[in-house]
């Protein structure tokens, strides 16, 4: 408990409101899954600072099922790259159920790595020596995302292996089309094990939080996958994660997400939160009825819709004005492209033709390469026009250039005044 329990209470409230949402059916096509308690219902939230909040049955273990797919997708992207992976699996929404036969005409590739056909191929592409080694790599990866060692539920694995004829049929079709990397039984065995890894709702929230945090686990600090890989995975989750309702989900919830037949659902609010819900009864699309309702409510109530983000960006330029012939600008936080644009726009307004610029970046915490390039260019341009430029910044911003670098704003001001005299 932390934050005076206010956030925990907000989660608990959403859980209560969604407890009666619709009716669903616990999946039993994998017989062992049919033993789940339909009343289980949990919510969890993980922040980028590693803060965790939970409500309900958030520590009940269940098998991860299809929620494993984005993480294994990340592993293969990190190993092979998007170009090589796309030779095997496309990245198009299928508009079909998770277990649909999906072979693109011509190439035989499955539509995307979030449906079973594409996930089976993706699992087969995990580089390893032998099937056991391949599963251990996947288990290690899922554990790194969760920040703790995860176990296998042998009974669910045996149950799915004994009844997984539909997945076997998909694998044989792809094998015949030449798009299955490996033998049907070997690849499927790894896939069934991958789906049978045990997690809790708390685990799922922090796993989603790792994707939200650019691939860095917010609690352990481990960079589990490179940042560009996390970005690519989120893109595919956004368009394909919710199967045949992906479009409606993006409309109403507006977050990259992934559901699984055991009742788990994750959603990712990039650079903000990882969110997870768990409740076994499923809707017709194979997603948790209460989980979907809860994530929808959470996204709306907490203002997490992706397309909402731009309007709420924090102010980066904290001061833009003039004292005498010195134009002064101060900025704070992380400087990305939009922040650089704001600074550049303000520069034009504050620096007089016969004056100098003092730019206070001491409260800047991070400068993206594009922001650094644009600001450097603007400073150089001012300097070339004969206007002295003094930059006050913490170490990190390049001191080299046709401008003066100072550790404090006072030093920058004093230098600029002397230059103008």
Ligand X SMILES: NC(=O)CC[C@H](N)C(=O)O
47 is in an annotated binding site: no
For residue 327, what are its two tokens? 């134009």
Given candidates 167, 210, 213, 316, which one binds ligand X under the rule CB under 6 A? 167
Catalytic-residue membership of 29: no
Q: Is 243 marked active-site? A: yes
Helix or strand or coil: residue 238? helix
The Cα 57–Cα 200 span in angstroms is 9
112 in a labelled binding site: no
Q: 357 - beta bridge partners?
A: 327, 389
User: Residue 301, Cα to own-chain centre: how many angstroms?
Assistant: 20
Q: Which of 10, 69, 74, 46 is nearest to 271 (CA)?
A: 46
The beta strands (E) that lie in 213-345 are given as 257-259, 264-269, 273-278, 317-323, 326-335
- Three-class secondary structure of residue 113 per DSSP: coil
Among 160, 189, 203, 360, binds ligand X (CB under 6 A): 160
- From 14, 26, 47, 66, active-site residue: 66
Q: Is 299 one of the annotated binding-site residues? A: no
C-alpha to C-alpha distance for 291 and 266, rounded to whole angstroms: 9
**At its nearest, how many Å lie between ligand X and the CB of residue 156?**
9
- Binding to ligand X by residue 260, rule CB under 6 A? yes
| 243 marked ligand binding residue | yes
Token reading at 354: 């016969």
Q: Closest Cα to residue 67, out of 186, 156, 166, 200?
A: 200
- Under the binding rule (CB under 6 A), the answer on residue 70 touching ligand X is no
Question: Quick check: is 261 catalytic?
Answer: yes
Q: How many helices (H) and strands (E) does the chain have?
A: 14, 12
Closer CB to ligand X, 265 or 329, in the complex: 265
In this structure, are residues 21 and 289 in contact, taking their beta carbons and an 8 Å threshold?
yes
Q: Considering 243, 287, 389, 391, which one is annotated as catalytic?
A: 243
Q: Report the residue from 65, 94, 201, 332 that binds ligand X according to the rule CB under 6 A.
A: 65
Tokens of 57: 């049955």
CB 240 to ligand X: min, Å:
12
Is 66 known to be catalytic? yes
Dist CA 27 CA 333 (whole Å):
47
Instruction: Please give the size of the binding site for ligand X, defined by CB under 6 A.
Output: 11
Q: How far is the CB of 258 from ligand X (least distance, A)?
A: 9
Would you say 261 is a known binding-site residue?
Answer: yes
66 in contact with ligand X (CB under 6 A): yes
Instruction: Rank residues 52 and 113 by Cβ distance to ligand X and give the closer one.
Output: 113
The interface mask with ligand X, positions 116-155, x = CB under 6 A, is x---------------------------------------
Residue 281: in which H helix or E strand, if any?
Answer: none
Catalytic option among 67, 69, 262, 358: 69
Chain length of the chain: 421
Which positions are annotated as active-site residues? 66, 69, 191, 243, 261
Annotated binding site for substrate: 66, 116, 160, 167, 191, 243, 261
Binding site for ligand X (CB under 6 A): 65-66, 98-99, 116, 160, 167, 195, 260-261, 286
């Amino acid at each position: 408990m932390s934050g005076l329990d206010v956030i925990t209470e907000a989660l608990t409230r959403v859980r209560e409101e969604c407890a009666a949402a619709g009716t669903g059916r616990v999946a039993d096509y994998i017989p062992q899954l049919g033993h789940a308690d339909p009343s289980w219902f949990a919510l969890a939230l993980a922040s980028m600072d590693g803060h965790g909040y939970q409500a309900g049955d958030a520590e009940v273990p269940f098998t991860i099922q299809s929620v494993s797919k984005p993480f294994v997708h990340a592993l293969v992207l990190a190993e092979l790259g998007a170009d090589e992976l796309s030779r095997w699996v496309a990245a198009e929404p299928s508009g079909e159920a998770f277990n649909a036969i999906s072979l693109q005409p011509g190439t035989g590739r499955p539509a995307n790595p979030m449906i079973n056909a594409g996930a089976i191929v993706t699992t087969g592409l995990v580089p390893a020596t032998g099937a056991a080694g391949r599963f251990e790599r996947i288990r290690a990866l899922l554990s790194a995302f969760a920040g703790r060692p995860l176990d296998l539920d042998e009974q669910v694995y045996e149950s799915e292996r004994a009844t997984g004829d539909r997945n076997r049929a998909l694998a044989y079709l792809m094998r015949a089309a030449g798009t299955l990397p490996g033998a049907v039984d070997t690849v499927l065995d790894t896939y069934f094990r991958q789906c049978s890894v045990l997690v809790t709702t708390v685990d799922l929230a922090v796993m989603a939080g790792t994707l939200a945090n650019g691939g860095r686990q917010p609690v352990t600090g481990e960079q589990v996958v490179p940042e560009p890989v996390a970005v690519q995975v989120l893109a595919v989750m956004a368009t394909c994660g919710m199967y045949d309702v992906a479009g409606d989900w993006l409309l109403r919830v507006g977050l990259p997400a992934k559901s699984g037949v055991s009742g788990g659902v994750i959603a990712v609010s990039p650079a903000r939160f990882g969110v997870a819900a768990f409740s076994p009864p499923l809707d017709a699309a194979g997603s948790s009825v209460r989980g979907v309702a809860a994530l929808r409510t959470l996204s709306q109530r907490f203002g997490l819709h992706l397309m909402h983000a731009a309007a709420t960006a924090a102010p980066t330029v904290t001061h833009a004005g003039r004292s005498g012939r010195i134009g002064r600008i101060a900025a704070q936080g992380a400087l990305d492209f939009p922040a650089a644009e704001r600074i550049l726009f303000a520069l034009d307004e504050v620096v007089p033709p016969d004056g100098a610029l003092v730019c206070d970046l001491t409260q800047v915490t991070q400068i993206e390469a594009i922001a650094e390039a644009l600001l450097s260019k603007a400073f150089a341009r001012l300097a070339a026009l004969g206007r002295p430029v003094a930059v006050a910044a913490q170490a990190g911003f390049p001191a080299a250039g046709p401008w003066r670098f100072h550790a404090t704003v006072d030093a920058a001001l004093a230098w600029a005044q002397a230059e103008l005299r």
